[in-house]
């Protein structure tokens, strides 16, 4: 059967006004810049010749004390020309996507797209169109062409629902599976260490599956140029057709278009297919409609363009693969050196991937088992707040399988719709959010490096290498944050809710640049994906299309994700003996309780790196409002939302977080208790808990006397 994607499936009626989705990045150390330097600003300019938007009101501007830290300064004052969660509980009002009337940008002080940004965006669209035009023909059958077919594996390391592999097999011709590793293809965002380890394991499992099921082989090539690697295999085997599934990073689209054009000009055939996403960037054009709701760049904005689109059933694996008469030469997977362990001076190998091997079952079989487990046991928990639980397996632990193509989004959609059609709307919206991230990177090719709201490139960030290192290593003194960061280091993964907790702590409380977090996630996540990672960090760092409308408190957030402290006990064992009342705030515990629990703050567990969380939040808010009142003043609309000028010159309205807007009356959604609530006191009515609480209160009164 075929399923039409409808908003009634993906978005409940009572949530259609919300227009947000929890990120499934689920969203992933070679970075474009050093962490010691401010974000690049070469694409930005501000014209100060004109006035602000008529009727715009000045937001509240805080004037806190300057932080006693090294300050990451804003961009120098120069004239340059500017060239893409947990959000299910948003309180945002409905905002129409109605393009504003384009005006003279320089006269009004707008930050406009530069020629470079416009060119990059146009190139991505043209490369996509050219690729589709040159590789849309069917694979010639064995009657038409008896020469072998090359199946080029990339982000589709599976046998099921792999159209390139299936249609090559159905042509009746000899099939040669090929993987070409060229590290430079990822340009500024090379695969991080955790993702390389996963790729090594995935290729190993794919090679074993091909040999076991079909008697086939995975040919491995490497070098500095993908086109040269493919041509070598085709010339060596006499192959005349190249089959592959499309990918959507702009730099990879440019490479693929060049490869297809070169092969076509030399009389060879190319066939490409959709297998990585549900909807390709050119298949849905969300910014072509008028009157769209939920704001430009939100998941509701994207779902409007998907309404009524059909999603076909996943394809079966091939029945057989005809081998060639002679196999070409091949490297071993180990020759790619994706999985290299460092050594200490004494020669001892540092096996940093041990936790990953214990936590994951790699390959397509492991992916299908993980999906089956979620569909059977976890899917029914996902629609409620239970999906926030970090101490329970109520979320889908499948993101790295999707990232490397061991599991197809079409297979996931099919399994969920067939078994839980009316019980998994929230989870299915995650798939739409994923496609939206790819669309944004395709539309805004510099999203991974530069703010989508260009005025925020001038925001002032703090920089403290010691504090950043503490965040990276899980030594902040806040147990919930530390548990998540340690889980990331050991397993290469953490639940989605915890990603929002640690990202919010870095940005909102530490006031660190979102790119610092983006780069760390890119190096340590096994599911590191440039599009999804950048889209998430942009939104969390104020500069994205769909700003987060919440602030995660590093203590109070535990009421949703770790109420009894089991998650912290697993990953921060030095606090394991503390009771639930104090495990998320050990600095509040009596000295005797700390001693009896084996906790020595400052020794076996660090002191908090931030003592005044509210003061830190005030400084962060002031930095944002300084941008809105200064260089970004002309981009603020009368209702407090913000303007953005697209590469094609259209003006659009971006929903802006409610506590940044002077005209907003309701407070920001915190998803936490009131600040006045004592984080130690959670309702417990059993006799033991009551006795413990009474004992602690009596001890505190005695200390006061």
Quick: pLDDT tens for 456-477: 999 999 989 999 999 999 999 9
Domain end point (choices 306, 336, 366): 336
Domain that holds residue 589: 454-660
CATH code for the domain in which residue 242 is found: 3.40.50.620
| The pLDDT of residue 69 is above 50 | no
Task: Tell me if 105 is assigned to some domain.
Answer: no
pLDDT value at residue 108: 64
Q: Across residues 428-433, what is the average pLDDT?
A: 88
pLDDT, tens digit (0-9, with 9 covering 90-100), for 43-64: 333 333 333 333 333 333 333 3
The response to whether 694 counts as a known ligand-binding position is no
For residue 559, what pLDDT is reported?
81
Average pLDDT, the chain: 81
Residue 603, pLDDT > 90, answer: yes
Residue 86 is predicted with a pLDDT of 37
At 637 the pLDDT is: 87
Dist CA 525 CA 197 (whole Å): 10
Three state DSSP letters for 346-380: CCCECCCCHHHHHHCCCHHHHHHHHHHHHHHHHHH
Region 493-498: what's the mean pLDDT? Answer: 94
Is residue 130 located within the same domain as residue 268?
Answer: yes
Question: Which residues touch 454 (CB under 8 Å, ≥6 apart)?
Answer: 43, 44, 82, 83, 111
24 confidence band (pLDDT: 50, 70, 90):
very low
Q: Is 449 annotated as a binding residue?
A: no
CATH of the domain at 616: 1.10.579.10
Instruction: Please check whether residue 348 lies inside any domain of the structure.
Output: no
Give the residue ranges of DSSP H helices in 88-247: 105-108, 115-134, 163-170, 193-214, 226-237
pLDDT category at 691 given cuts 50, 70, 90 is low
In this structure, the answer to whether residues 323 and 468 fall within a common structural domain is no
Q: How confident is the model at residue 693 (pLDDT cuts 50, 70, 90)?
A: low
pLDDT above 50 (res 656): yes
663 alpha carbon, distance to own chain's centre:
31
The whole-number average pLDDT for the span 137-142 is 88
Handedness of CA 259, 265, 270, 275 (dihedral sign): positive
DSSP-derived pairing of the beta strands 219-222 and 241-245: unpaired
CA distance 541 to 170: 48
At 405 the pLDDT is 97
Residues 459 and 324 in one domain: no
Determine if residue 264 is labeled as part of a ligand binding site. no
* Contact between residue 230 and residue 243 where contact means Cβ atoms under 8 Å apart: no
User: Could you give the dihedral angle defined by the CA atoms of residues 373, 375, 376 and 379, in that order, rounded to the nearest 10 degrees?
Assistant: 110
pLDDT category of residue 675 using cuts at 50, 70 and 90:
very low
Is residue 583's pLDDT more than 90?
yes
The per-residue pLDDT for 687 is: 62
The answer to whether residue 695 is domain-embedded is: no
pLDDT tens string 378-429? 776 667 667 788 888 878 899 999 999 999 999 999 988 877 766 677 888 8
Q: Which residue has the higher pLDDT, 7 or 409?
A: 409
Stretch 332-348: mean pLDDT, rounded?
88
pLDDT band at 292 (very low <50, low <70, confident <90, very high): very low
Instruction: Check residue 89 and give its pLDDT.
Output: 35
Would you say 397 is a known binding-site residue?
A: yes
In a domain, 92, yes or no: no
527 is in an annotated binding site: yes
Note whether residue 64 is domain-resident: no
The pLDDT-based confidence of 206 (bands split at 50, 70, 90) is very high
Residues 153 and 292 in one domain: yes
**187, pLDDT greater than 80:** no
Q: Which pLDDT belongs to residue 686?
A: 57
pLDDT of residue 662: 61
Ligand-binding annotation for 566, yes or no, is no
Q: State the pLDDT at residue 200.
A: 97
Mean pLDDT is highest, among 91-105, 134-148, 652-666, for 134-148
Domain end among 309, 336, 363: 336
Predicted pLDDT of residue 465: 93
Residue 105: the pLDDT is: 56
Whether 462 and 603 map to the same domain: the answer is: yes
User: Could you give the angle at which helices 479-491 and 496-504 cross, rounded to 10 degrees?
Assistant: 120
Higher-pLDDT residue of 8, 117: 117
Q: Domain end: 287, 314, 336, which one? A: 336
Contact 245, 162 (CB under 8 A): yes
% of the chain surpassing 70 pLDDT: 76
475 shares a domain with 618: yes
Q: What is the pairing mode between strands 3-5 and 309-311?
A: antiparallel
HSE, side-chain direction, 13 A CA sphere, residue 248? 28
Q: What is the average per-residue pLDDT within 236-247? A: 96
Is 102 inside a domain boundary? no
- Residue 432 maps to a domain: no
Domain count, the chain: 2
Say if 45 falls within a structural domain. Answer: no
Q: Is 60 assigned to a binding site? A: no
């Amino acid at each position: 059967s075929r399923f039409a994607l409808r908003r009634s499936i993906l978005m409940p009626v009572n949530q259609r006004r919300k227009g947000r989705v929890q990120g499934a990045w689920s969203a992933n150390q070679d970075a474009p810049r050093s962490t010691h330097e401010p974000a690049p600003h070469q694409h930005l300019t501000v014209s100060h010749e004109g006035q602000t938007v008529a009727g715009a009101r000045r937001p509240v501007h805080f004037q806190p004390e300057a932080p006693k830290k090294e300050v990451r300064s804003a961009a120098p004052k120069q004239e340059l020309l500017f060239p893409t969660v947990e959000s299910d509980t948003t309180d945002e009002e409905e905002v129409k996507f109605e393009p504003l009337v384009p005006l003279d940008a320089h006269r009004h002080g707008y930050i406009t797209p530069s020629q470079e940004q416009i060119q990059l965006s146009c190139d991505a669209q043209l490369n996509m169109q050219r690729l589709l035009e040159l590789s849309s023909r069917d694979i010639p059958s064995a009657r038409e062409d008896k020469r072998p077919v090359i199946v080029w594996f990339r982000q589709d390391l599976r046998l099921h629902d792999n159209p390139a592999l299936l249609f090559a097999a159905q042509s009746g011709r000899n099939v040669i599976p090929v993987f070409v590793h060229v590290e430079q293809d990822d340009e500024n965002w090379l695969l991080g260490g955790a993702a390389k380890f996963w790729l090594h394991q995935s290729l190993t499992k794919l090679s074993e599956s091909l040999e076991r099921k079909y008697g086939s082989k995975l040919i491995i090539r490497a070098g500095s140029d993908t086109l040269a690697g493919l041509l070598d295999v085709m010339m060596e085997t006499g192959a005349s057709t190249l089959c592959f599934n499309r990918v959507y990073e702009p730099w990879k689209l440019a490479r693929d278009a060049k490869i297809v054009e070169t092969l076509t000009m030399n009389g060879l055939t190319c066939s490409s297919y959709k297998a990585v996403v549900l909807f390709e960037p050119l298949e849905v054009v969300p910014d072509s409609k008028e009157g769209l709701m939920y704001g430009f760049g939100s998941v509701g904005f994207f779902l409007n363009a998907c309404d009524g689109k059909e999603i076909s059933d996943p394809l079966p694996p091939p029945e057989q693969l005809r081998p060639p008469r002679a196999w070409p030469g091949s490297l071993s997977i180990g020759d790619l050196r994706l999985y290299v362990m460092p050594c200490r001076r004494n020669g001892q190998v540092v096996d940093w991937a041990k936790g990953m091997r214990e936590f994951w079952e790699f390959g397509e079989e492991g992916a299908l088992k993980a999906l089956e487990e979620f569909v059977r046991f976890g899917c029914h928990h996902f629609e409620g707040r239970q999906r926030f639980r970090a101490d329970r397996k109520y979320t889908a632990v499948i993101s790295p399988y999707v990232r490397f193509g061991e599991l197809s989004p079409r297979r996931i959609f099919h399994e969920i719709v067939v078994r839980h059609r009316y019980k998994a709307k929230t989870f299915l919206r995650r798939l739409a959010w994923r496609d939206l991230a790819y669309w944004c990177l395709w539309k805004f090719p510099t999203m991974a490096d530069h703010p989508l709201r260009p005025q925020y490139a001038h925001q002032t960030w703090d920089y403290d290498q010691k504090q950043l290192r503490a965040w990276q290593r899980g030594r902040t003194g806040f147990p919930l944050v530390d548990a998540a960061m340690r889980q990331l280091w050991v397993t290469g993964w953490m639940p989605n809710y915890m990603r929002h907790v640690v990202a919010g702590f870095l940005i909102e409380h530490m006031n660190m640049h979102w790119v610092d977090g983006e780069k760390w996630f890119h190096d340590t996540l096994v599911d590191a994906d440039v599009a999804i990672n950048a889209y998430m960090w942009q939104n969390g760092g104020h500069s994205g299309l769909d700003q987060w409308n919440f602030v995660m408190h590093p203590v109070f957030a535990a009421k949703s994700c770790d109420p009894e402290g089991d998650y912290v006990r697993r990953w921060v064992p030095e606090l394991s003996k503390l009771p639930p009342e104090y495990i998320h705030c050990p600095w509040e515990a009596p000295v005797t309780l700390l001693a009896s629990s084996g906790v020595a703050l400052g020794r076996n567990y660090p002191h908090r790196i931030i003592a005044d969380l509210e003061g830190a939040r005030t400084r962060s808010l002031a930095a944002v409002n300084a941008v809105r009142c200064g260089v970004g003043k002309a981009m603020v609309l009368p209702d407090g939302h913000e303007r953005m000028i697209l590469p094609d010159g259209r003006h659009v309205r971006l929903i802006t977080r409610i506590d940044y807007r002077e005209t907003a009356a309701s407070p920001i959604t915190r998803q936490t208790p009131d600040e006045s609530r004592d984080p130690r006191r959670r309702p417990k009515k059993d006799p033991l808990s009551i006795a413990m609480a009474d004992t602690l209160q009596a001890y505190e009164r005695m200390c006061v006397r």
